[in-house]
Amino acid sequence: MAKNVVLTGVGHDRVGIVAELAEILFEMGCNLLDSSMTLLRGEFAIILMIRLPDNQSLDDLKKKIIEVESRLGLTIHVRELSDQEANECEDQGDPYIISVYGADKPGIVSGITKDLANLGANITDVETKHTGEHDGATVFLMVLEVSLPEHVPESKLRSVLSDSSKKLNVNVSVQSLDVVQL
């Protein structure tokens, strides 16, 4: 029976990591279901959700990964997913993009994400960047994708984040995402 697997890896970036991993998975007959990859100041991180074919075992995949870990410059972890984990859908609720912009200081990420958690919002993606200096201060930018529970009105989200904006002295914008049905 086919197995659903999550593969996570992190290490110093170099050209060809994605191509080599994809080739190994292709040679084993794996199907790539979902992926997320990013580069942060020279460090590469990857998360892959894959389906192993019936004729391959989790041990077969782990052996292949061990063979290439040092060549890829990554530390890789492989874990089989339960049926429930494999079928979870992350986009439950109403989707929003939240942008936060202001002078960098400790507490911005903590303050915004705590307020979102208190609303029951699930953060499905977050990215932060330092974008340079303005008036002698380092500028901080954070973009979050969140799913807001259907019972929480958008007006409540905007009100809470407006209060956060004032408390943290940052600009916060909220954009509702219209999901296109395929």
Q: Is the pLDDT of residue 136 over 90?
A: no
Residues 169, 102: contact at Cβ < 8 Å? yes
Which residues fall within 8 angstroms of residue 57, CB to CB, at 6 or more apart? 3
Cα–Cα–Cα angle for 70, 74, 80, rounded to 5 degrees = 110
pLDDT for position 180: 55
Q: List domains and CATH numbers for the chain.
A: 3-87 (3.30.70.260), 94-176 (3.30.70.260)
> Which DSSP helix (H) or strand (E) runs through 25?
helix 17-27
As given in the structure block, the two tokens for residue 17 are: 């990591």
Q: Is the pLDDT of residue 71 over 70?
A: yes
- CA dihedral over 154, 156, 151, 83, signed as positive or negative: positive
pTM reported for the whole predicted model: 0.75
Residues 3, 80: contact at Cβ < 8 Å? yes
The pLDDT tens digits of the residues spanning 76-119 come to 999 998 877 777 765 578 999 999 999 999 999 999 999 999 99
pLDDT for position 182: 53
